[in-house]
Amino acid sequence: MILKIWLGVLGSYISHLHCEKNYNVKESFFLNNTIGKNIKSGIFPFWIGSFMNNPFQKIFSFRFFEWMLWSIFGILLGIVIFRASFLSIQWKMAVSIFLGLLLLAPVYQWITGHIEKLLWFLFFASIPLDFDIHLSYREYVGTFNGLLLNLTDLSLLSLFLFWIFRRIAKRESIPFSFPLMLPTLVFFLAHFTSLIYAEDISLSILSIVQIAKILFLFWFLVHAMEDEALLSLAWKFLVICIILESLICSLQFITKTNFTTTMKIAENYGEEVFRVGGTTGSPNVTASYLGSLLVIPIISLFVMKGKLQFKFFIFLSIVLGLFAFVLTQTRGAWINFCIGLFLFFVFNRTIRHRGWIVLGFLVMLIGLVGIFHRVIFERFSEGWDTLMYRLELTKTAFAMIKTHPFLGVGANNYALVMSDYVPYFLTQERWVVHNRYLLVASELGIFGLFGFLYFLGSALYHAWKSTHSSNPFVVGFGNGVFYALLVFMFQMMLESLDGRICDAHLWVLAGLASALSQFYRHTESTKEMH
């Protein structure tokens, strides 16, 4: 109850500051009635205060709609508060830190007037965080074992409300580009068709709920990233995320502690070396995340134009990112990262002095090998037992595909039925095939694999299309997203990469690719009209 009252007053404070600063509104329907209603319902959605102009005062004057709004947010907060009482000490500390950041939000809003930028940063920064609250949970070693609520969902919902209220105020319709959304809808449909042979439909429903959230994320990014300012903001936040993740990995390496909410790291079983897990809790997932994102600043360094501070910012993210990337000790991610950069330097003919750049890249690579030669040698000279596990799981996936070729064994049902195909000890040691494409084909069938490849191919096409822009920023960002997707697609051949973090990361990259393509098409059509 105390937390509810505190959040209600906090929301009132933010609303008051924003209205007074941006609209010179000292008295309004909201400001006169906010605190009392907040305490009764639980929380005030502070982002609504950003749009308290005349059209919105008329909209929100309806008592029924206002009652529904307060009730929904009160119920949501009540669920979170109820679940928070059962959290572990690590989670309670994390929630306390988050509430502390919320306490600073009014100060940030008062100084800058840009609470929306803070929400965008939280959205991108929360993607690699192993920071999920289970609204429902069941014992299961597969991909999804419950309904999740996380910072990515909350920040995305806040941004969506910002965006939707702005469009209503401007009397603009809600966009839906069917050609851009078609590949994702096909993949989404494959999850429903897989229910036919699913042994446990409830597990499949958990996967459907998660993919629906990811589909909403993709739709929002495609249609909300409609100007260069937002795209530039996304680029900056992605680079900042590399720096933050790298600093955390470096601190973990120094302290020899993976201080994440995932206390046991599956990739460390049977290994003597220490591998940093970053905020994801998994060295392989962190390496896949960093390896794909690192391509963006490296390509930007050669394609984009900027001042010295801009170049230093990029260079800092590259150095820290490469250092943390090596510390994950993920062999496959190292190889795929190098392949992606090699393809960029070979096929991008707009870069001057490509030979010297490739030579410099090789020198830097040799330097990293020299610094971490012992770690790299140990990683490439061990792990034969792991390789045998992966080969057995690959056989398992092909056996499932042979049994259910068209519609699969059911979304999120792989770990449930794999004991029918492999020895018991494999189900305990390595419970998911280390290949995303085989996992999709096993669970969703050939139809699902087609939808997944259709989605990936569409994302690559839109990223490639944006590289034809006359805007250097769009060209640089488009190239970065294209090769980031390519590196992640290569990595999916060696890892399952099927959890909430990996899905969000992949679909954010795809959403940015489509948004860049839409921005390029819009700017070109505008030029032709003039």
Closest among 7, 17, 86, 85 to 42, alpha carbons compared: 7
Beta bridge partners of 343: none
User: Residue type for 151, please?
Assistant: L
Burial category of 77 from C-beta neighbours within 10 Å (exposed 0-12, middle 13-18, buried 19 and up): middle
Burial category of 210 from C-beta neighbours within 10 Å (exposed 0-12, middle 13-18, buried 19 and up): buried
Residue 317, both tokens: 């993210």
Cα(467)–Cα(473) distance, integer angstroms: 9
Higher pLDDT, residue 220 or 97 = 220
Give residue-wise pLDDT tens across range 252-305: 888 887 755 443 443 444 445 678 989 998 899 999 999 999 999 999 988 887
Length of the chain (residues): 530
From residue 118, give the alpha-carbon distance in Å to each of 22, 100, 254: 17, 14, 30
- Rounded to 5 degrees, φ, ψ at 150 are -145, 175
Q: Where are the domains of the chain?
A: 1-113, 178-263+271-529
Give residue-wise pLDDT tens across range 172-222: 888 999 999 999 999 999 999 999 999 999 999 999 999 999 999 999 999
Helix locations, 404-499, DSSP H: 414-417, 424-429, 436-466, 472-491
Q: Is the pLDDT of residue 7 over 80?
A: no
Q: Is the pLDDT of residue 93 over 70?
A: no
- Concatenating the DSSP letter of every residue in 346-408 gives HH-TTSTTHHHHHHHHHHHHHHHHHHTHHHHHHHHT--HHHHHHHHHHHHHHHHHHHHSTTT-
Q: Is the pLDDT of residue 71 over 70?
A: no
**pLDDT computed for residue 381 by the predictor:** 57
Cα(162)–Cα(154) distance, integer angstroms: 12
- Concatenating the DSSP letter of every residue in 191-246 gives HHHGGGS-S-HHHHHHHHHHHHHHHHHHHHHHHH--SHHHHHHHHHHHHHHHHHHH
Lowest-pLDDT range, 130-139, 237-246, 366-375, 429-438? 366-375
- Concatenating the DSSP letter of every residue in 1-63 gives -HHHHHHHHHHHHHHHHHHHHHT--SS-HHHHHHHHHHHHHS---GGGGGG-SHHHHHHTT-H
Give the pairing type, strands 146-150 and 132-137. Answer: antiparallel
Lowest-pLDDT range, 154-158, 228-232, 371-375? 371-375
Residue with the two structure tokens 């910012």: 313
Residue 431, both tokens: 């419970």
Higher pLDDT, residue 155 or 112 = 155
Give residue-wise pLDDT tens across range 507-516: 999 999 999 9
Angle at 411 between CA 405 and CA 415, to 5 degrees: 90
Beta bridge partners of 150: 132
Cα(274)–Cα(266) distance, integer angstroms: 12
pLDDT above 90 coverage of the chain, percent: 42
**pLDDT computed for residue 68 by the predictor:** 56
Residue 323, both tokens: 């250092």
Burial category of 86 from C-beta neighbours within 10 Å (exposed 0-12, middle 13-18, buried 19 and up): exposed
Whether 34 and 15 have beta carbons less than 8 Å apart is answered as: yes
Confidence bin at 77 (pLDDT 50/70/90): low
Cα(435)–Cα(394) distance, integer angstroms: 8
Cα(151)–Cα(63) distance, integer angstroms: 30
